[in-house]
Amino acid sequence: MATLQEIREKLKQAEQRGSDSNKSNNGDNTSYPFWNLKEGGESVIRFLPDGNDKNTFFWVERAMIKLPFAGIKGEIDTKEVVVQVPCMEMYEDGSVCPILSEVRPWFKDPSLESMARKYWKKRSFIFQGIVVEDGLGEKDAPVNPIRRFLIGPQIFTLIKASLVDPELLESPTDYVHGLDFRLKSGKKGEYADYSTSSWSRRERPLNAAESDAIATYGLQNLSSFLPKKPSDVELKVISEMFEASINGEPYDEQRWGQYYKPAGFKPINSTSSTNTSSDDVVPFETSTQTNNAQPVIQEAYVAPVAAPAPTEALVADAATAGGDSRAADILAMIRNRSK
């Protein structure tokens, strides 16, 4: 288990560098759906270390990119659908993401910045731990009390800020001197808000039942819950889908269906088992999230130093800035500028 000092050093190193599969565990419900908490509801969580002792942190970062399409090819009156694909920068092997490589220069052009945000990676963080107090009143909780938590940037910022607090003497995941995390659900406008969540002020050693659960079930390697890394063929498919999305084309199931699909997509006129393969790369357990939960796993691009700082107005206008009629010309414009 990493010490608090090791966690702080790793966080400091990540900031100095400017750093900014898909496994269902046999279909069980080990992911705790805290996003279903009612307004004013609260659950208490005890985070646990990563089962991978090479990971200094007690979480892993997950990065996905949303590709919107103008409906489904061949279907009449279909609405916009979204396919989520893994961002290659999620994998700690120096892999290059073809979409982010294309999008980064767009932030230098005010007329393209909103489009760049649309295709920027959305970050979330996978943790594991025990639900100490269940504000959901679950009736079908799994036998194994060690749960997974898909945490968005808002909550993660609170977790990270506390870790660098000099008054915190031990890691919150320490079995004896650790802290519980009080996850509180509120609302800001139409979206869920968790900004009042916080660590407990008092240390609490794990009780006998919690210690027995760790001994019985063990800790999971959190990286094993990340989406499968795309192959070279899948990377070509991702690039093709990206360009089609930019050009305003519909999703083509015949071209891409065996690789990536919209969540829950089932072709009307197809009986091929490939079309419903469980190996499709879809977002980790997000299909059941409500609209209130969606902002929790969003994170805007942090522009490079040379680029102008993003504004709230640009975020609000992301869907319309630049005009839909210009979408098909964006890739050509950027590529011509880079020559």
* Predicted confidence (pLDDT) per residue in 33-43, tens digit: 999 999 999 99
* Predicted confidence (pLDDT) per residue in 84-106, tens digit: 999 999 997 888 999 999 999 99
Give the pLDDT mean for 322-332. 48
Check residue 191 and give its pLDDT: 86
* Predicted confidence (pLDDT) per residue in 20-60, tens digit: 433 333 345 789 999 999 999 999 999 999 999 999 899 99
Q: HEC string of the chain?
A: CCCHHHHHHHHHHHHHCCCCCCCCCCCCCCECCHHHCCCCCEEEEEECCCCCCCCCCCCEEEEEEEEEECCECCCCCCCCEEEEEECHHHCCCCCCCHHHHHHHHHHHCCCCHHHHHHCCCEEEEEEEEEEEECCCCCCCCCCCCEEEEEECHHHHHHHHHHHCCCCCCCCCCCCCCCCCEEEECEEECCEEECCCCEECCCCCCCCHHHHHHHHHHCCCCHHHHCCCCCCHHHHHHHHHHHHHHHCCCCECHHHHCCCCCCCCCCCCCCCCHHHHCCCCCCCCCCCCCCCCCHHHHCCCCCCCCCCCCCCHHHHHCCCCCCCHHHHHHHHHHHHHHHC
pTM for this model (two decimals): 0.71
* Predicted confidence (pLDDT) per residue in 101-124, tens digit: 999 999 999 999 999 999 999 999
Give the pLDDT mean for 300-322. 38
Check residue 190 and give its pLDDT: 84
Check residue 275 and give its pLDDT: 37
Check residue 288 and give its pLDDT: 33
Domain spans of the chain, in order of start: 4-338
Phi, psi angles (nearest 5°) of residue 314: -65, -35
| Mean residue pLDDT across the chain | 79
**CATH class (in words) of the domain with range 4-338:** alpha beta
* Predicted confidence (pLDDT) per residue in 148-193, tens digit: 999 999 999 999 988 888 888 889 999 999 999 999 999 988 888 9
* Predicted confidence (pLDDT) per residue in 226-267, tens digit: 999 999 999 999 999 999 999 999 999 999 999 999 987 776
